[in-house]
Each structure stands twice: as structure tokens, then as C-alpha cells.
Amino acid sequence: MTSAVSFAKVSRHFGKVKAVDQVDLEIAEGSFFAMLGPSGSGKTTCLRLISGFEQPTAGHIRIFGEDVSQTPPNRRSVNTVFQDYALFPHLNVRDNVAYGPMVAGVPKAQRHAKAEEMLDLVKLGSYGDRKPGQLSGGQRQRVALARALINEPRVLLLDEPLGALDLKLREAMQDELKSLQKRLGITFVFVTHDQHEALSMADQLVIFSDGKIAQQGSPEDVYARPNSRFVADFVGSSNVLSPDLTRALGGPAKWASLRPEKTMLAAPAKAAVKGTVTAVRYLGAASRVVLDVGGNEIAALVPAGQDLPVQGAEAGIAFEPDALHVMEREV
């Protein structure tokens, strides 16, 4: 499979701070690729390295096989959608979208026709005469997308573009972005600190920690088989089990991950491990029951309609054998 973007031992240092440290990365052409991690983990710096807004301290960056490590942003086949959208308030929507072609010297009629085509693509075909201030947050985000896409990038970079939206609109835009990427077939590189966004949208994702890649794979692989305590804690909600507790549950004496939705409650007399219920939290479709097991907190998701224990009661832990995932390393 052709690589749209590749990093070979790429580092970006700011003085003594290693924002990105010896990163090797391959992003497949036509994929929806997510970079996920906490603030300061290196994900946004990697996006800026792809765009050309930052240059690597060491290593090489290639876009479709061409080394662009020192190529300026305007000569790269990429475009960026930022979190704040950066629309020009004095221009109407049509002229905002047509701004790139205008700078490139495209005649007005031609660039406006192309802008209308892009607005139709993002379902804003009748909004060309409005100003950005007359639009909702989701509509402004679509205008920013249209403005980026009009330049026909081979790679579209999205820097936390949904962060300013409320939950319901953000979830709707996740579906829209994924659908748009499938229709266009171009490579999307999406940066977020929201693991739910990354899991629901990406074909492949990479988890960053302290400027390095902690794990890379499909959302299903990373969620079900985290390779470290950091990944298990960061991606979704997991019961991270100490080696002693893993052994008590029938596994090897190593750190392990047990997802709450895979964890069941059992009668104390029939369970290998039991604990005391410390909290019961109603979540709608399920309730989250938290147990103290020898000083370790273990959570189980109990589907709605099932009987729930009361706080202070004793309960056992049960799970299917393949639900216990032994991790490669502790950190």
C-alpha cells in the first residue's frame, strides 16, 4: 500500500524539550488516520511537521515519496483545517472558500464556480452570501473544510477541528467527516485528544506519549490489546491489573487490562476474586459498579435491567478467558 506520509527517525526539539523524538511513522494513502494523545504528547507538532509549519531537527518526512523535510508549506500537497477555523469575518462564505484560488490568481468567475461546488459538497450550497458571523459552529467548520478542499490537497490535516462544538453536534460532524473522507478518497490526518473521536472515525491511529509513539494500529487492536498501562488507561476505560491481581484471576504474574464491559459480577462464593462495592453509577444503558479488591479498584458495566448490588455489599469478579489481556510492558 502506498504511503501518503512517512516519517523516518523524525525529531523536533525546542531547546532541551524533545517535542517529537525519533518517530517512525507510515500513513497509508486514502486512509483516515488519527493522532491521539494528551496535551504535550507530540501529536500536534507532528501535524505541523507534515504541514511545513515546523521543520524537523533530525530525520526525514516524505509525502508520496518526495522528501519535504525542508519544503515550505505552500509547496506541499497538503492543507490544514484548524480548531478555530480562521475564517475572514469581512468576507462572505463564498469568498472565504475561494480565497486560496484568489491568491493563486484564478479568475473570479472560475474560483466562485469552484467555491459553489465545494459548498455543495459540504451541504452549504445556499450559504454563499452569508458572513461567518451568521453561521453556527458546525456550519463554520464546514466552510473551513470547503476552503481547505478547494485547493485539491492530497492530504488533509485536521487539527482538533471539532473541539469547539457541543457534544451532539460534535458526534454529528464525526459522521459527516468520515462520510466525506470516504467520498473523496483522500488521506485525512486527524489530531485529537478525544479518544472517542479517534476510535469512532479512524482506520488507523497512533497514540503519542512524551514525543514518542506508544502504540499504533487499528482502533479495534489498540482498544482490545493495549501494550502498556499508559495506553490501557488513556484509550477508553480499563481495569489495569497489577501482576499479583492478574495471577489471582488466573493469568500470569504480569500487568494486564480488563475492560469494564467485559467484566461481570458473580456470587462471591463462586468467584476466584471478590471485593466490596464502593460505588454504583447509573449511566442509562448500563450501570458502572466499582469494587475495591484488596486495595485495587475494578469496575464492571452491568446492563440495564439486571439486579445491582448495593454499596458496601460483597461481590465477585467474573469474565471470559479471552477478556484478560496481558500487556507487553508496564509503562
Q: What is the pTM of this model?
A: 0.88
In this structure, are 194 and 87 located in the same domain?
Answer: yes
The pLDDT of residue 237: 83
Do 199 and 101 lie in a common domain? Answer: yes
* Same domain, residue pair 225 and 247: no
Q: Report the interhelical angle of 167-184 vs 137-149 (nearest 10°).
A: 20
Residues 29 and 120 in one domain: yes
**Domain assignment present for 116:** yes
**Is residue 271 domain-shared with residue 197, that is, in the same domain?**
no
Domain count, the chain: 2
Sheet containing 32-36, strands listed edge to edge, beginning at the edge strand earlier in sequence: 78-81, 155-159, 187-192, 32-36, 204-209, 212-217
pLDDT of residue 37: 92
Q: What integer pLDDT is reported at residue 95 of this predicted model?
A: 95
Residues 142 and 246 in one domain: no
In a domain, 46, yes or no: yes
Specify if 209 maps to a domain: yes
Confirm whether 178 is domain-assigned: yes
Last residue of a domain, one of 165, 196, 231: 231
Nearest alpha carbon to residue 262 among 286, 228, 243: 286
Out of 231, 253, 280, a domain closes at: 231
Q: Is the same domain home to 203 and 145?
A: yes
CB 273 within 8 A of CB 258: no
Q: Are residues 184 and 277 in the same domain?
A: no
Please indicate, yes or no, if residue 275 is contained in any of the structural domains.
yes
Are 184 and 266 found together in one domain? Answer: no
The CATH number of residue 225's host domain is 3.40.50.300
Q: What is the pLDDT along the chain (331 residues), one digit of tens a residue?
A: 689 999 999 999 999 999 999 999 999 999 999 999 999 999 999 999 999 999 999 999 999 999 999 999 989 999 998 877 788 999 999 999 999 999 989 999 999 999 999 999 888 888 999 999 999 888 888 898 899 999 889 999 999 877 767 777 788 888 888 988 999 999 999 998 888 889 999 999 999 999 999 999 999 999 999 999 999 989 888 899 999 999 988 899 999 999 999 999 999 988 889 999 999 999 999 999 999 998 889 999 999 988 899 999 999 999 998 999 999 777 6
Is residue 331 included in any domain, yes or no? no
CA distances, 117 to each of 96, 125, 197, 208 (Å): 14, 8, 28, 37
> Within a domain: residue 50?
yes
Q: Tell me: do 199 and 274 sit in the same domain.
A: no
Give residue 178's domain range: 3-231
> Is the Cβ–Cβ distance between 34 and 223 less than 8 Å?
no
pLDDT at 164: 67
- Statement to judge: residues 204 and 246 lie in one domain: no
271 within a domain of the structure (yes/no): yes
CATH number of the domain that 265 lies in?
2.40.50.140
Which residues on neighbouring strands pair with residue 264, listed in sequence order? 318
In this structure, the answer to whether residues 245 and 197 fall within a common structural domain is no
Show which of 231, 254, 274 is a domain's final residue.
231
Please state, in angstroms and as integers, the Cα–Cα distance from residue 222 to each residue in 15, 91, 108, 210, following that order. 33, 43, 48, 18
